Amino acid sequence: MIITDTHTHLYSEAFDEDRHDMIQRAINLNVSRFFIPAIDSTYTDSMLQLEADFPENVFLMMGLHPTHVKDNYKDELHHVEMMLSKRRFYAVGEIGIDLYWDKSTLPIQIEAFKYQIKLAKKYQLPIVIHCREAFDEIFEVLEEEKSENLYGIFHCFTGNLEQAKKAISYNMKLGIGGVATFKNGGIDQFLSQIDLHHIVLETDAPYLSPKPFRGKRNESSYIVKVLEKLSEIYDVSEEKIADITTHNSKDIFKI
């Protein structure tokens, strides 16, 4: 059984004390594929080091996170484009719109999102979308940019059934993580109505720990709790969930 964590910030400072042990714990539980989203240029060296330390397991994305779209965003976008031109990445991400922390940056968040979508098309890469309190805004951009070669993952999907179907209509898989295990998370109520072929697994470590670790630091090994929950929701074996979602991740990332 191979389990794929399609979204984990393994370079986070939260893991500075035990990073290698934490990654090995996940590998010991068959979590052997880790896809690493970017935040901004300050993390690039850490991401490259992570890949060098675990070349068989770690696969990097490149992008500018919407909460880090600041006054210097054009410099950051230049860094993204430069890195994409220099070497292989497996997605442009995480990118999108976040209106939870700062609504005032919406215009430049939209600009950065569109710019990075165009980079993804140029380099024939998937996008990995961050959406917080911004479904309408995200869908507006996707409607404008939609094409056969635009596809990817709607990371940490927390919407309703209608929004799930809309995301899928734009060639997006749904990234399902710890929220599926929350008592009031909501998505567990309709997820069985979404075909498993539209689903990938993720942790978003060190954030959004699943039950029974909610409120504590998340790590990639905890994805097995998400796997258990989806096995319960879909009434199929954990092995089948792992197999289908890993296959889906290969469809997206081409590895």
**pLDDT tens, residue by residue, 113-155:** 999 999 999 999 999 999 999 999 999 999 999 999 999 999 9
**Radius of gyration of the chain from Cα atoms?**
17
Identity of residue 128? V
List Cβ neighbours of 196 (8 Å cut-off, separation of 6 or more). Answer: 234, 236, 241, 244, 245
Q: Over the stretch 24-34, which tens digit does the pLDDT of each residue have?
A: 999 999 999 99
Mean pLDDT value across the chain:
97
DSSP class of 220:
G
Give the residue-averaged pLDDT of 167-195: 94
Give residue 183's pLDDT band: very low, low, confident or very high (50, 70, 90).
Answer: confident
Predicted structure pTM score:
0.97
**What are the structure tokens assigned to 76, written together?**
């950051």
pLDDT(211) > 90: yes
**What are the structure tokens assigned to 247, written together?**
């296959």
CATH number at residue 86: 3.20.20.140
Q: Over the stretch 53-111, which tens digit does the pLDDT of each residue have?
A: 999 999 999 999 999 999 999 999 999 999 999 999 999 999 999 999 999 999 999 99
Return the pLDDT at 217.
Answer: 98
Give residue 184's pLDDT band: very low, low, confident or very high (50, 70, 90).
Answer: confident
List Cβ neighbours of 35 (8 Å cut-off, separation of 6 or more). Answer: 4, 5, 6, 7, 8, 59, 61, 90, 91, 128, 249, 253
pLDDT more than 70, % of the chain: 100
Total structural domains in the chain? 1
Give the residue-averaged pLDDT of 235-244: 98
Return the pLDDT at 233.
Answer: 96
The Cα–Cα gap between 149 and 132 comes to 24
Q: Over the stretch 33-57, which tens digit does the pLDDT of each residue have?
A: 999 999 999 999 999 999 999 999 9
Return the pLDDT at 27.
Answer: 98
Return the pLDDT at 185.
Answer: 78
Domain of residue 28, residue span: 3-253
The Cα–Cα gap between 200 and 190 comes to 16
Give the residue-averaged pLDDT of 5-30: 98
